[in-house]
């Protein structure tokens, strides 16, 4: 089997000091990419800062014969996005791959406990971090007629999760950004896709009551990164797609609709009487479509279907 390699390419990965971003950086570097490892080393809520996580990833890449640099900019602002991309260009003169992975989190609490500040804080890193880093990289990718942008959404943005309002809204926004941007991205030679990952990282292990230690062990972050590398490779030409990447499983995620009921003169009563046409037919589910009703259980469903090939 021919190995997918990224020799000579430059990848910028946000939030790459720990968890998923760390594994993305290590794998892409192992396959030949030069990696700018962005991570200010903040706590889960975005407070504090520590240069150690990003530096350790860079040291490990270099020890393995790869090439990497540290970036500590806290993504979210226009200025931070521009500084991040400028560093990659100054060091290597190009940017081929942008992986928007950085994020912060909140404790679980009901909607009425959310605040304007809590929304702004989470949206700044997740959504505006994705937008501003992409905006900064875009003209340089477009000038070369090539680029790969890989965003990080979440099932929480599609099906929800109890007590994760700000996070879900941010991830839903990233999905909308990805899909809309992809509609004209190929005119510039840029491919825009997103992953919806699941792994036993800090926020999951700290806040999820659904995952036991044994189950978390099956959700290693390194099982997500192969999907990122596949999307980052020049031979992968999908665009505008969303892929679940959980516990060794990669699956396309789609937003669709049922065949539906139509009438020239619809009435509430006619809709009621044809409600079976409004919903998806059971045959669709029998053919393989999986409908998740809550994000926390999604990974467990995948384990039940496919096992874990670790």
Q: Tell me, what DSSP letter sits at residue 287?
A: T
| Helical packing angle, 165-185 and 129-144, nearest 10° | 20
| Helical packing angle, 19-30 and 225-232, nearest 10° | 50
Secondary-structure percent of the chain, ordered helix, strand, coil, rounded to 5: 50, 15, 40
> In terms of DSSP H, where are the helices of 150-290?
156-159, 165-185, 202-207, 213-217, 225-232, 268-273, 275-278, 282-286
Please report where in the chains the tokens 């059971």 appear, as a residue: 282
Question: Residues 109, 167, 191, 285: which is the catalytic one?
Answer: 167
CA distance 250 to 247: 9
Which of 151, 148, 192 has the alpha carbon at shortest distance from 174?
Answer: 151
Which of 139, 66, 53, 140 has the alpha carbon at shortest distance from 102?
Answer: 53
Query: Beta strands of the chain (E only): which ranges?
Result: 10-13, 34-38, 67-71, 97-100, 147-152, 190-198, 242-246, 249-253
191 counts as catalytic: no
* CB proximity list for 73: less than 8 A, separation 6 or greater: 38, 40, 80, 83, 84
Catalytically annotated residues: 167
């Amino acid at each position: 089997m021919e190995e997918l390699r990224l020799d000579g390419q430059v990848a910028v990965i946000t939030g790459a000091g720990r968890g998923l971003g760390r594994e993305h950086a290590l794998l892409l570097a192992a396959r030949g990419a030069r990696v700018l490892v962005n991570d200010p080393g903040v706590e889960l809520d975005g407070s504090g800062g520590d240069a150690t996580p990003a530096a350790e990833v860079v040291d490990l890449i270099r020890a393995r014969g790869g090439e990497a640099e540290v970036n500590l900019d806290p993504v979210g602002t226009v200025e931070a996005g521009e500084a991040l991309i400028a560093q990659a260009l100054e060091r290597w003169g190009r940017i081929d791959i942008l992986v928007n992975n950085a994020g912060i989190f909140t404790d679980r609490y009901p909607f009425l406990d959310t605040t304007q500040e809590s929304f702004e804080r989470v949206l700044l890193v997740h959504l505006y971090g994705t937008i501003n880093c992409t905006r900064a990289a875009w003209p340089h990718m477009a000038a070369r007629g090539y680029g790969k942008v890989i965003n990080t959404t979440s099932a929480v943005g599609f099906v929800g999760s109890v007590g994760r309002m700000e996070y879900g809204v941010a991830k839903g926004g990233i999905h909308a950004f990805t899909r809309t941007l992809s509609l004209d991205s190929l005119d510039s030679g840029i491919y825009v896709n997103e992953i919806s990952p699941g792994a036993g990282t800090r926020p999951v292990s700290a806040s999820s009551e659904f995952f036991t230690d044994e189950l978390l062990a099956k959700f290693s972050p390194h099982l997500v990164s192969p999907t990122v590398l596949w999307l980052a490779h020049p031979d992968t030409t999908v665009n505008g797609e969303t892929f679940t990447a959980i516990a060794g499983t990669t699956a396309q995620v789609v937003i669709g609709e049922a065949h539906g009921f139509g009438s020239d003169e619809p009435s509430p009563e006619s809709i009621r009487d044809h409600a079976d046409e409004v919903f998806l037919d059971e045959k669709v589910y029998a053919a393989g479509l999986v409908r998740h009703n809550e994000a926390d259980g999604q990974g467990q469903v995948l384990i039940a279907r496919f096992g874990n090939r670790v």
